[in-house]
Homo-oligomer: A and B are copies of this chain.
Amino acid sequence: MAEAAVVTTSRLLKALRREPVDKAPVWFMRQAGRALPEYRAIRKEHTLLEICRQPELCADVTLQPIELLGVDAAIIFADIMTPLIGIGVDIDIVDGIGPVVGDPIRDHGGIESLGELEPEADIPDVLDALRLVKSRLQGKGGQALIGFSGAPFTLASYLLEGRSSRDFHQTKRMMYGSPVLWKQLMERLSEIVIIYLLAQAEAGADVVQLFDSWAGALSPEDYARFVQPYSADILSAVESAGVPTIHFTTGTAGFLDLVRDAGGTTIGIDWRVRLDEAWRGIGHNRGIQGNLDPMVLLGPVEEVRASAESILAQAAGRSGHIFNLGHGVHPLTPVENLKALVEVVHGYCPE
């Protein structure tokens, strides 16, 4: 009974099923961490990876935005490289840079060295944290728990470039020059991602988001050839297990149809396209998530309100819209603006 009651109040899960909601659900990528003073206080004592390795602390950080901002979902606090760190890849998370891979993959041997992911052995902490968050969410306001993974293309780009890149030249060199190696790498990463996402669902995630944050570096043809099949395998495997998915990319306004065709219960978009145009292109028989430019939150609160209302007007109260930013919260974001944004979304009445 209690479980049923929670499910009926979860706006996020309703929106994923494109059922009517009392208010549009809202959460923010990178809502846990970065901008919250309560998070920064913890970060003074612990590195990012230390937080990830302590399930109690990780659960605290994951839940902070629920208490502090009033969002409709908690997203597990983890790094995009968590599963790769779990299988033993030498990765450090460097402040101001992000993930840095000690020994970037250059050949078949590097790909072969990526072992299988055995969740309970390799990533017990993130699963324990999910279980903790799930149990602490019981009895709260029906907020959903979101798991996530980087998509294979995004993970591959870190493994090949060694760190975040502007031009992806190592990645594209392998794609064009060694398509057989590329296929091996993407298949290996896809297996890892499927296991990782299903393990998160098993541990309590109500929905999982696939982050293909760098897909916008590609042409439509290259996305279709080198990326889409693997994302499709992952999204299909997870949805077959009954877990709803959010398929997020940035910079793909020119080929959102291909992103949609790869799958995803809901398609997450960035701010480089109008939400109404994007939704029309994707088709209203799919959900959409987005799409405020996170930088608007660095401006005055009046701009935040006006921009949010524009997006809500474009969604027009249609079932299946999840309000979010178009990418992660910027560390300099004033918390008051995040709170005001949640209020605008929850207070909005479509005409």
Q: Hey, which bits of chain A sit against chain B, CB under 8 A?
A: 167-169, 172-173, 175-177, 216, 218-222, 251-255, 271-274, 277-278, 293-296, 298-300, 303, 307, 310, 326, 330, 332
**A169 CB contact (under 8 Å) in B167, B271, B272, B298:** B298
Q: How far is the CB of A43 from chain B (nearest CB, A)?
A: 20
Sorted from nearest, which 8 A-B pairs have the closest CB atoms?
A176-B299, A254-B273, A253-B254, A172-B295, A219-B271, A253-B253, A176-B303, A254-B272
Q: Once the chains are docked, how many angstroms separate the CA of A168 from the CA of B293?
A: 11
A273 lies within 8 A of B303 (CB): no
Give, as a whole number of angstroms, the nearest-CB distance from A160 to chain B. Answer: 12
Residues of B within 8 A of A272 (CB): 216, 218-220, 251-255
Whole-angstrom distance between the alpha carbons of A251 and B326 in the complex? Answer: 14
Q: Which residues does chain B contribute within 8 Å of A176, judged by CB atoms?
A: 295-296, 298-300, 303
Are B219 and A293 closer than 8 Å at their CB atoms?
yes
Chain B residue numbers with a CB within 8 Å of A222 are 293
A274 touches B293 (CB 8 A): no
**In the complex, how many angstroms separate the beta carbon of A259 from the nearest chain B beta carbon?**
12
Query: Which listed residue (B172, B253, B273) contacts A293, Cβ 8 A?
Result: B172
Chain B nearest CB: distance from A96 CB in Å? 11
Are A273 and B296 interface neighbours, CB within 8 A? no
User: Across the two chains, which residue of chain B brings its CB closest to A173?
Assistant: B298
Inter-subunit contact B172/A220 (CB<8 Å):
no
User: Would you mind naming 10 contact pairs between A and B with Cβ atoms under 8 Å apart?
Assistant: A167-B294, A172-B293, A172-B295, A172-B296, A177-B303, A220-B272, A220-B274, A221-B307, A253-B272, A254-B273
Which single member of B221, B273, B295 contacts A310 (CB below 8 Å)? B221
- CB atoms of B254 and A278 under 8 A apart: yes
Shortest distance between the CB of A21 and any CB in chain B (Å): 25
How many angstroms between the C-alpha atoms of A254 and B296 in the bound complex?
A: 19
* Chain B residues whose CB sits within 8 angstroms of the CB of A218 once the complex forms: 272, 293
* Minimum C-beta distance from A97 to chain B (A): 12
Complex interface: chain B residues within 8 A of A307 (CB) = 221
Task: Give the Cβ gap from A152 to chain B, nearest Cβ, in Å.
Answer: 18
- The answer to whether A172 and B299 touch across the interface, beta carbons within 8 angstroms, is yes
A299 cross-chain contacts in B, Cβ below 8 A: 172-173, 175-177
Q: Is there an interface contact between B295 and A169, defined as CB atoms closer than 8 Å?
A: yes
Please indicate the chain B residues that have their CB under 8 angstroms from the CB of A273 in the complex: 220, 253-255
A169-B332, A216-B272, A221-B274 are known contacts; what are 11 more A-B pairs with Cβ within 8 Å?
A: A172-B299, A177-B300, A218-B293, A219-B271, A220-B274, A251-B251, A252-B272, A253-B273, A254-B274, A255-B273, A255-B274
